[in-house]
Amino acid sequence: MAHHEAALRKYGLTMTQYAVLLTLSREGGMSGAQLAKACGVTQQSMASVLVTLQTKGLIARETSTVHAKVLITTLTKKGAAVLDEAYGEVLVLEQAFADVFTAKEHRMLSALLDRATDELVRQTR
């Protein structure tokens, strides 16, 4: 995490802010509650993160067409550009991490982490 934070700092992003941008790039428009759940933070924490990202011009928020009290967050062009640059650096870090394992070890580690994640998700339902 510390290595990721250091790389993201160049772009003025925290890990949570990066996770929001990445999630929006993959999922499209989402509510604050959906983003909080996807990024593993509280709704209160997410509200603060979204204000910061909106102030930086990296996201836009508009009232939902379905529910007037819900704001839908989307990635702006500026946000997509910052994400693309930051993603490139994060990819280098993650590849360096993966390279310390053999292909077999990497598959085993991935399977174990998937199983642990599935269990954590099951416990929080």
Residue 116 lies in a domain: no
CA distances from 102 to 24, 99, 107, 112 (A): 32, 7, 9, 15
Residue 109 lies in a domain: no
Q: Which of 55, 60, 48, 51 is nearest to 24 (CA)?
A: 60
The enclosing domain of 35 has a CATH number of 1.10.10.10
Determine the structural domain holding residue 25 and report its residue range.
2-100
Helix residue ranges per DSSP H, 28-76: 32-39, 43-55
pLDDT at 78: 97
pLDDT at 68: 83
Residue 8 lies in a domain: yes
pTM of the model: 0.83
Residue 70 lies in a domain: yes
Residue 118 lies in a domain: no
Residue 50 lies in a domain: yes
Residue 45 lies in a domain: yes
Residue 113 lies in a domain: no
Which pLDDT tens digit goes with each residue over 75-113?
Answer: 999 999 999 999 999 999 888 888 999 999 999 999 999
CA distances from 42 to 20, 22, 37, 86 (A): 13, 18, 7, 24
What is the spatial distance between Cα 96 and Cα 89, in angstroms, rounded to a whole number? 11
In total, how many domains does the chain have? Answer: 1
